[in-house]
Amino acid sequence: MKTLQTLLAAAMLAAVPAVAAAAPAPAPAPVRNIVLVHGAFADGSGWKPVADILLRDGYTVSVVQEPLTSLEDDVTATNRILDRQQGAAVLVGHSYGGAVITEAGNNPHVASLVYVAAFVPDAGDTVISQIKTNPPAANSIAPTADGYLLVDRAKFPADFAADLPLADARFMALSQVPWNAKIVSTPITAPAWKAKPAYGIVATQDRMINPDLERSMYAHAHAKVTDIKGSHAIFISQPRAVASVIEQAARGER
């Protein structure tokens, strides 16, 4: 006959696999690479205030200089930088850059997406179709003779960068990068936010993209949303607040 001690020992041994199976999986390591994508009428240099903070905080930062010639070209430029990453990366897009990261975010290096006052298209959506659902306060974009778009220089400071020093906003107006008009009607094919975590920043004083449109786009992407008081140029005017959201994404905080 088995003793009570033998029965207890057998029961404890039988329970070990169940306990091991129930042990929680280790938390994923924080992402250390950040890739920043600019939007229309801007270039990558606008990310400098955010990049400086991220670098000081120990992140590896890359800035994409996409040409704004077509959505395909801009996604290709972004993938070129993503393919050089050593490990996983947080992919960040401002404004039209949100459409770019929605496609380029399917790159296997991308762990999560951060939308900064940005478009978040679904499959079949275009930038213009999203704008039409909730138009912005600004009406200052006009075509060039060769099919590109620019913001009226006189209106640029108030519409794009109202919370920057006027001299800085005026220089941005002078140096803005033309945006190929065909981009606004190019549909998204495979939204990366359907498979990867998304974070969204609403610029509450945005005149280039309606803040309510930003909220609704972030909602359909199930993004973690942060409101920040600022203009469309919030990545320049509020770099610490924007960097904080990017770092949340890097840590996987939801």
Which residues carry out catalysis? 95
Which stretch of DSSP H or E encloses residue 253? Answer: none
Q: Is residue 99 within 8 Å of 71, Cβ to Cβ?
A: yes
For residue 150, the cross-strand partners are: 142
Instruction: Tally the residues of the chain.
Output: 254
Token pair recorded at residue 31: 């992402």
Cα(59)–Cα(52) distance, rounded to whole angstroms? 10
CA-only gyration radius of the chain, Å:
22
Token pair recorded at residue 4: 């009570």
How would you write 199-234 as a 3-class SS string?
EEEEECCCCCCCHHHHHHHHHHCCCEEEEECCCCCH
